[in-house]
Amino acid sequence: MQKTVLVTGASRGIGREIAVRFAKAGYNVAVNYCSHEAEAMQTVAMLNAMGGLFRVDNAAAFRADVSDPAQVEEMFTRIHGTFGGGVDLLVNNAGVAQQKLLQDVSPEEWDRLFGVNVKGMYLCARQALPDMIRRQSGNIINVSSMWGQVGASCEVAYSAAKAAVIGFTKALAKEVGPSGIRVNCVAPGFISTEMSAALAPEAAESLRQETPLERLGTPRDVANAVWFLASQEAGFITGQVLGVNGGLVV
Ligand code: NAP
| Shortest-distance Cα residue to atom 38 of ligand 1 | 191
Domains in the chain: boundaries: 4-239
pLDDT on residue 50: 85
Angle at 164 between CA 162 and CA 170, to 5 degrees: 110
Q: Is 196 in the pocket of ligand 1 (CB under 6 A)?
A: yes
Count CB-CB contacts under 10 A for residue 46.
15
Looking from the CA of residue 67, the nearest atom of ligand 1 is: 18
pLDDT confidence tier of residue 53, bands split at 50, 70 and 90? low
User: What does the chain come to in residues?
Assistant: 250
Could you please report the per-residue DSSP string of 173-229? HHHHGGGTEEEEEEEE-SB-STTGGGS-HHHHHHHHHHSTT-S-B-HHHHHHHHHHH
What is the radius of gyration, based on Cα positions, of the chain? 17
Q: Is 34 in the pocket of ligand 1 (CB under 6 A)?
A: yes
Instruction: For domain 4-239, give its CATH number from 3.30.70.1150, 3.30.420.40, 3.20.170.30, 3.40.50.720.
Output: 3.40.50.720
pLDDT, tens digit, 9 for 90 and up, residues 103-146:
999 999 999 999 999 999 999 999 999 999 999 999 999 999 99
Q: Is 195 in the pocket of ligand 1 (CB under 6 A)?
A: yes
Q: Is 158 a catalytic residue?
A: yes
Which three-class secondary structure state does DSSP give residue 126?
Answer: helix
Q: Is 96 in the pocket of ligand 1 (CB under 6 A)?
A: yes
Contact at 8 Å (CB) between 40 and 17?
A: no
Out of 16, 108, 195, mutate this one to test ligand 1's pocket (max ligand atoms within 8 Å of CB): namely 195
Mean confidence (pLDDT) of the chain = 96
Q: Ligand 1 centroid vs 35 CA: distance in angstroms? A: 11
Angle at 133 between CA 141 and CA 130, to 5 degrees: 85
pLDDT on residue 57: 76
Q: Which residues contact 137 (CB under 8 A, 6 or more apart)?
A: 88, 180, 181
- State the alpha helices, DSSP H only, in the chain: 13-24, 37-48, 69-83, 107-114, 120-135, 146-150, 156-176, 201-210, 219-230
Q: Is 55's pLDDT higher than 90? A: no
Which three-class secondary structure state does DSSP give residue 30?
Answer: strand
Out of 6, 17, 32, 34, mutate this one to test ligand 1's pocket (max ligand atoms within 8 Å of CB): namely 34
Between CA 31 and CA 16 the distance in angstroms is 8
